[in-house]
Amino acid sequence: MNRRVYVAALAALTLAACASAVVTSQPWTPTSEADGWSPVSASTRTVGLGMPGAAVLGKGVRYAGGVTVLAGMDSPLHSLSDLKLTGDGGFISVSDVGDLARGRLALDARGRLIGLEGLSVRRLTLTDGAPISQKMEGDAEGLAITAGGDLLVSFERDHRIWNYGPLAALRAPEAVRRPDFPFTENDGMEGLAASGDGWRVAGESGGVWNCSAVRCAVVTPPPERPLTDADYRITGMDRDPAGGWFVVQRSYRAPIDVRARVRRMAQDGTLGPVLVELKLPGTTDNFEGIAAERRGDRTRLYILSDDNFNAVQRTMMLAFDIR
């Protein structure tokens, strides 16, 4: 690829990273099995961090493998916008056109991520049980599994958080508490994670809240000047097994500077030092999902990118181990 074409491709990738998907409804028609999930075919290719020095890892952090998902543009395995682990070697994800996706993590003998197996999907539903069919209804951005095992999904455009019940027995959703804040259409509740008996919410343009069935309390108030694309904005969040939370942040500056960061978040919403920074000319994309688990003496983190149904972006899952 010559320099001119290469720069054009990078520009297209990064411009797409901060734009919402142009898909208005799901082009894929599922054929459900008895449990409501539909198997879906895709392959994966292992991926490194790219050119030396492009990825910056904090002290005690090491790369633990990663994959790119290879699927046709009519596949539902695109525009995946959050990620959580199910505790049995599996994962669950949600797309911003209203699909759930699940699968199993394939690890090699050293525990490095080398693939994704057993992939299947199902359509999220409305409160009347009808499948979501429109972008306005299905722009799912956040995912959490509560202490009681219920699956929560946060949506933007029509800003809400819905409880779909246990993952093993999903049902028509019920609305639960969400922050009393006027989120703009495409800057909603990107970060969602379990928090004791409730859930913690982070707004893409700023603000952090702790919510329960009774109320949502402000942890960090939204800034007077909403965060912009050029700022590092929280796009995903998960509970730290050792206490607190992990967040993934994204930043975009025209024409081709797209970056991602992983940091810890304290109880009071304070963000810690950067643990992982991804930037060009290394491996980077529109990272929006994060999940954490304990593995021996380390914490394993997985981050997931949203390709916006754009052919020049990638759906990637990367793994990192933290002492």
Residue-wise pLDDT for 122-148, tens only, equals 999 999 999 999 999 999 999 999 999
Higher-confidence residue of 29 and 240: namely 240
- How confident is the model at residue 312, as a pLDDT? 87
C-alpha dist (Å) from residue 299 to 19, 64, 83, 141, 171: 32, 11, 16, 24, 32
Q: Which residue has the tokens 């049980």?
A: 129
Fold adopted by 3-322: Neuraminidase (2.120.10)
Please give the structure tokens belonging to residue 225: 């000047």
Q: Are 308 and 19 in contact (CB under 8 A)?
A: yes
Percent of the chain with pLDDT over 70: 89
Please give the structure tokens belonging to residue 104: 């199993």
- How confident is the model at residue 3, as a pLDDT? 31
- How confident is the model at residue 28, as a pLDDT? 46
Residue-wise pLDDT for 176-198, tens only, equals 999 999 999 999 999 999 998 89
- How confident is the model at residue 256, as a pLDDT? 83
- How confident is the model at residue 31, as a pLDDT? 57
C-alpha dist (Å) from residue 1 to 166, 266, 312: 48, 44, 14
Provide the mean pLDDT of the chain: 90
C-alpha dist (Å) from residue 287 to 102, 129, 258, 307: 18, 31, 10, 9
d(CA 236, CA 93): 12
- How confident is the model at residue 158, as a pLDDT? 96
Residue-wise pLDDT for 232-282, tens only, equals 999 999 999 999 999 999 999 988 899 999 999 999 999 999 999 999 999
Query: In the predicted model, is pLDDT for residue 23 greater than 70?
Result: no
> For residue 133, what are the contacts with CB-CB under 8 A and spacing of at least 6?
25, 26, 98
How does residue 33 score in pLDDT terms, banded at 50, 70 and 90?
A: low
Percent of the chain with pLDDT over 90: 83
Please give the structure tokens belonging to residue 119: 């992939």
d(CA 233, CA 226): 10
Q: Residue 168 has what DSSP assignment?
A: G
Between CA 98 and CA 69, with CA 165 as vertex, the angle to 5 degrees is 40
What pTM did the predictor assign? 0.90
Choose among 24, 45, 2, 10: nearest CA to 315.
45
- How confident is the model at residue 34, as a pLDDT? 55
Average confidence (pLDDT) over 24-44: 70
Q: Are 196 and 147 in contact (CB under 8 A)?
A: yes
Please give the structure tokens belonging to residue 94: 């949600």
